[in-house]
Amino acid sequence: MALVIAPWNYPVHLLLLPMVGALAAGNSVVGKPSEVSAHTSAALARLVPEYLDPDTVAIVEGGVTETQALLAERFDYVFYTGNGRVGRIVMEAAAKHLTPVTLELGGKSPVIVDAAANVEVAARRIAFGKFLNAGQTCIAPDYVLVARPRHEELVEQIARAIRDFYGPDPAASPDYARIVNDAHFQRLEQLLTGGTPAVGGETRAEGRYVAPTVLGDVAPGSPVMTEEIFGPILPVLPVAHVDEAIRFVNERDRPLALYVFSESQAAQERVLDQTSSGGVCVNATVMHVAVPDLPFGGVGASGMGAYHGKAGFDAFSHRKSVLVKPTRLDPKFAYPPYRKVKERIIRRFL
């Protein structure tokens, strides 16, 4: 039996997709939706038993108390998607039963924009990946390291992309999301103080609106650069060259995703060879999550294990070795005592 604990930001997809892998591999499943997305949790609890066998699949609603009660039980596998703090709690609870886990966590996914990048295209793709779901995506670009000669151009092009996507007032756009709750809204307001908005920066407590924001003048040690943002705030930092960007990334926890924009194959390969991350997109953001043939998962602080497609089936499977040997031939020379004649025969065949 597998336990799947889902987050609130994509509450249907991130509950049902791991459950598909678990069921395909022959497991029964307990699904735990997030209490933060309460309406979706209630809908899943109502709909799943209508379409799936209740003896095989169960949905358990609730908050921390219910999750702790589930983790106290002995499961064959635990699959958790969420933040690193809770991920450590899940792993500790699973360790008491020696239960294997997949932890899909997050962190700070960097973007490296090389001097040889197509900045106009890079800006659109960065803006798309960052401001999708108002930045509430585990693989959203968390900050940008851009070659200093292209810095101003990149900021201008991201501002243009925001206007193209969401109009002159993103608050009026039907395509721009809101922050999930007051606590996260207030957290993001605090992170905004870590730099100077070059684009956006507006907030409205009513409706929990945080504008698509590009942040400049950011200190590398500020909270907006050390905490996972999980919102529509994008620090953009100039660097001298790709090697400086690589050093910056490698001085921090290994990210769930890394994005590099360059028309130079040498620069692309340098980033790929010299960094470690859960996944990488070259000249794109977030799109790797949509390819079922690519295993999706983190490394280090961004998680462990992978799923999607066959990788999801494998995650919930145990590869049991089975040997079947016929009994018709059972030569005695294979057994002790091992005299010199037996030894010579065995050595000849082995």
Active centre residues (catalytic): 104, 138
Query: How open is the CA angle 311-285-167, to the nearest 5 degrees?
Result: 135
Instruction: Kindly give, in sequence order, each residue whose CB lies less than 8 Å from that of residue 263, ignoring residues fewer than 6 positions away.
Output: 114, 116, 117, 118
User: Which residue, among 217, 120, 196, 195, has the nearest Cα to 160 in the 3D structure?
Assistant: 120
Contact predicate 302/295, CB 8 Å: no
Q: Omega of the bond prior to 54 within 30 degrees of 0, cis?
A: no
Give CA–CA dist 11/16, Å, rounded.
Answer: 9
